[in-house]
Amino acid sequence: MVNYEKLIQYALRIIAKKRYTSFEMEKKLKLFVAKQEKIAQRNEEEDLEEGIEKSLFSADIEKVLERLKELKYLNDSGYAEDYIADKIRFRPRGKFLLARELKLKGLDSDLIKNALEKQNIDESGIAAQALERKMRQWQNLPLQKQRERAYRFLASKGFEPDAIYKAVNCCYSKLT
C-alpha cells in the first residue's frame, strides 16, 4: 500500500530531475499510486481490500502537493515565467503557442496571461530572429516561394499575423 512517505520520496526524486507544474506532479503521483497498487496485487505481498477508498490516496497526494509547495519545489507562476523565457531564448515561439503549451501543462489562463505580460515579449523581433535562421534553407528557391514558406513557418510557431508581416518584410527587405 502506498503511504505518504513513499509518495513524498517519489515526488522529491522526480522533481530533482525535472521541474513540474502542480497539475503534472499530481498526474505523476496518481500514476505512481496506480502502479504500486498493481504491483502489490500481482505479488500478493499485501492484503488489498476490494473497497479501498480512492479518497485516502487523493488525501495523501494533496498533502504531498502542499508540502512541495511549502518547500517551494512547486511554483506554477515561476514555472510559467521560466518556461516562457527558455522557449523564447532557445526555441522561438509566439505568445499564442506559448500559452497553448502552458495550458496543456495544466496552468490557469490568468497565470499564463500574467507570465506573458511580465516577460514583455517583442514578437516581431523574435520572429525575425527565427526567420533569419531558417532562411538559409530556402536560399535556392524563388523569392515568392521563400516568402510563402516564411509566412507558414512563422504561423506554425504561433506568432501573431502582425508580427509575421513585420518580420518577413524586415528580413526580405534586407535582401533586395
Q: Answer yes or no: do 58 and 85 share one domain.
A: no
Indicate whether 119 pLDDT > 80: yes
pLDDT score of 131: 92
Q: Answer yes or no: do 37 and 66 share one domain.
A: yes
Give residue 108's region: left, alpha or beta (phi > 0; psi -120 to 50): beta
Q: Answer yes or no: do 115 and 128 share one domain.
A: no
pLDDT score of 52: 46
Query: In this predicted structure, which of 14-23, 45-54, 56-65 has the lowest mean pLDDT?
Result: 45-54
Q: Answer yes or no: do 98 and 137 share one domain.
A: no
Q: How far apart are CA 38 and CA 143, in angstroms?
A: 60
pLDDT score of 121: 87
Q: Answer yes or no: do 58 and 28 share one domain.
A: yes
Indicate whether 1 pLDDT > 60: no
The model's pLDDT over 56-82, given as tens digits with 9 standing for 90+, comes to: 567 889 999 999 999 999 999 999 999
Q: What is the DSSP string of 11-48?
A: HHHHHTTS---HHHHHHHHHHHHHHHHHHHHHHT-S--
Q: Answer yes or no: do 153 and 130 share one domain.
A: yes
Contact between 156 and 131 (Cβ < 8 Å): no
Of 112, 108, 63, 92, the closest CA to residue 159 belongs to 92
Q: Answer yes or no: do 132 and 102 share one domain.
A: no
Q: Which residues span the domain enclosing 88? A: 76-119
Q: Answer yes or no: do 44 and 10 share one domain.
A: yes
What type of residue sits at position 168? V
pLDDT score of 176: 57
Q: Answer yes or no: do 55 and 15 share one domain.
A: yes
Q: Answer yes or no: do 104 and 60 share one domain.
A: no
Query: How many structural domains does the chain have?
Result: 3
Q: Answer yes or no: do 61 and 89 share one domain.
A: no
Average pLDDT, the chain: 88
Q: Answer yes or no: do 115 and 127 share one domain.
A: no
Of 16, 11, 19, the closest CA to residue 80 belongs to 19
